Amino acid sequence: MDDVVARILDANLNRTREALRVIEESARFGADDPGLTESLKRVRHDLAAAFRRLDADALLAARDTAGDVGTRIETESEYVRQSADDVVISAFKRLGEALRVLEEYGKVVDAAFASDVEQLRYRCYDLESRVRFDQWRAERLAGVRLTVLITESLCSGNWLTVAEQAIDGGADCLQLREKGLSDAELLQRAWALRDLTRNRGALLIVNDRPDVARLVEADGVHLGQDDLPVSAARRVVGPRLIIGKSTHAIEQARAALAERPDYIAVGPMFASTTKPQDHVAGPETLATVLAETRLPLVAIGGITAENVGTLTAAGCRCIAVCSAVISQPDVRQAARLLRGRMDS
């Protein structure tokens, strides 16, 4: 193996392994994401397998750290990172560059090696999208405390006016839940809520319909147990939209975690007249799921200003309500009371 090529391959192998480790640590300790951590670990192992095609002794023998002119060239930006996210972004940039170098110079030595590295490069592009957008969606959800479901038949007044009053009272997310509308009317309502929420700084989630959520550029879609799986919905809505999943028992919650939604709704917390269920999950189920994941959880079902304290005591940081706000004579005040209980 040519010494120059060997030095290039050796240096970029080290860059690749180092960048992967930096990113993996963020997924492991920052995001607490076992699936992502495993994917990154697998890339490291597959990279090592690819390098077994080459002469490891020749690579090491060609190494000349003292004589490497690149070690003496520095820029101020190399030592500036504003956040842990910046560290990960920089690591992905180094990773992509190093893998491309390995692929191109690897062609000189072993075509099969270069092909393996090419596939690893594509996998890392996908992982970068996953890491960056997962974090971005998580940040959008982080401040949400009160989601109000909008269903016209339960509204005490005009549904759009009720939605506006709910936001005025403190709802930071609206969820459009209409089961009986035609597609055309559902789309029209989704557009109206999109305009309202965008102007008021609230999120918009569309129930059941990834296609409608994407068309109106909603912030997310919420899936029931009988709706599309998360992976299929993700293909429809793309990487930017939030995906939530309804669960009604601990087994469903655990299964949902494996699907990797952005949040899980757990309920009903209490007996609900809006959406009666044979089984009431209760605050105990919520507490159990909270202990098993750092994924955002949304408590739903039968929640009122009188019983919400039970949920916050269990660790709940976000609730979703319907009649408790939209069916009340004073929608704004009902939302304000619930939001106040959540904030305190």
Q: How many CB atoms lie within 10 A of CB 280?
A: 17
Residue 32 identity (one-letter amino acid): D
Whole-number Cα distances in Å, 173 to 198, 206, 221:
11, 11, 12
Q: What is the pLDDT of residue 276?
A: 64
Q: What is the pLDDT of residue 170?
A: 97
Q: What is the pLDDT of residue 219?
A: 97
Consecutive sets of 10 residues in the chain, 344 residues long: mean pLDDT of each?
A: 91 94 88 83 94 91 78 65 84 95 96 96 91 85 96 97 98 96 97 98 97 97 96 94 96 93 95 73 92 92 95 94 97 98 91
Which secondary-structure segment (H or E) carries 304? none
- CATH number, domain 143-343: 3.20.20.70
Domain spans of the chain, in order of start = 3-139, 143-343
Q: What is the pLDDT of residue 67?
A: 73
Q: What is the pLDDT of residue 76?
A: 62
The CA distance from 225 to 246, in Å, is 6
Q: What is the pTM of this model?
A: 0.79
Q: What is the pLDDT of residue 84?
A: 80
Report the Cα–Cα distance between both ends of the chain, in Å, rounded: 67
| Residue-by-residue DSSP string for 238-280 | -SSSEEEEEESSHHHHHHHHHH--SEEEE--SS--SSS--SS-
